[in-house]
Amino acid sequence: MADALVIETSRGEENAVIAVSGEVDLATAPQLEAAIAAVDAGVVVADLTGVTFIDSTGLRVLIGAHEAARDTGGRFAIVVDDGPVTKLFSITGVGDWLDVHDSLAAATAND
C-alpha cells in the first residue's frame, strides 16, 4: 500500500539514469533493486528527488548497488534533494561515503 513506486530508466551515451518516485520500503525495495540490476551501464545515476519516503530496507538497495558498481569498476551515483533520503543518509552516516549529489548535472559531470 506504499505510494506506487514509479521507476523510469533512461540511457545516455555514457550513463543510465534511474528516476525514482514514491515510497521505498519492504514492499517496493525489490522493484528498485530489480530496476538497478537490469541496467547494463558503467555509470548508473539514481535520481531520488521524487522519493517521498525511504527506510533502511531501501537504503540497503542503494548500498548494494554502490558496492556492486565499485566491485565491477563502475559507478553508482545518487541525486537527492533536502528530503527524506537526505534525512536517512544523515541519520545513518552513509551519505559520507556514497556518491551523492544535489543535481543530475553534478552527478553526471565527470562522465
Cα–Cα distance, 82 to 35 (Å, whole number): 24
> Is residue 63 part of the contact set for other proteins (CB under 8 A)?
no
DSSP 77: E
> Is residue 27 part of the contact set for other proteins (CB under 8 A)?
yes
Query: What would the grid cell of residue 22 be?
Result: 514514491
Residue from 84, 89, 99, 107 binding other proteins (CB under 8 A):
84
Beta strands 6-11 and 16-24, pairing class: antiparallel
> Is residue 51 part of the contact set for other proteins (CB under 8 A)?
no
Residue from 6, 26, 34, 37 binding other proteins (CB under 8 A):
26
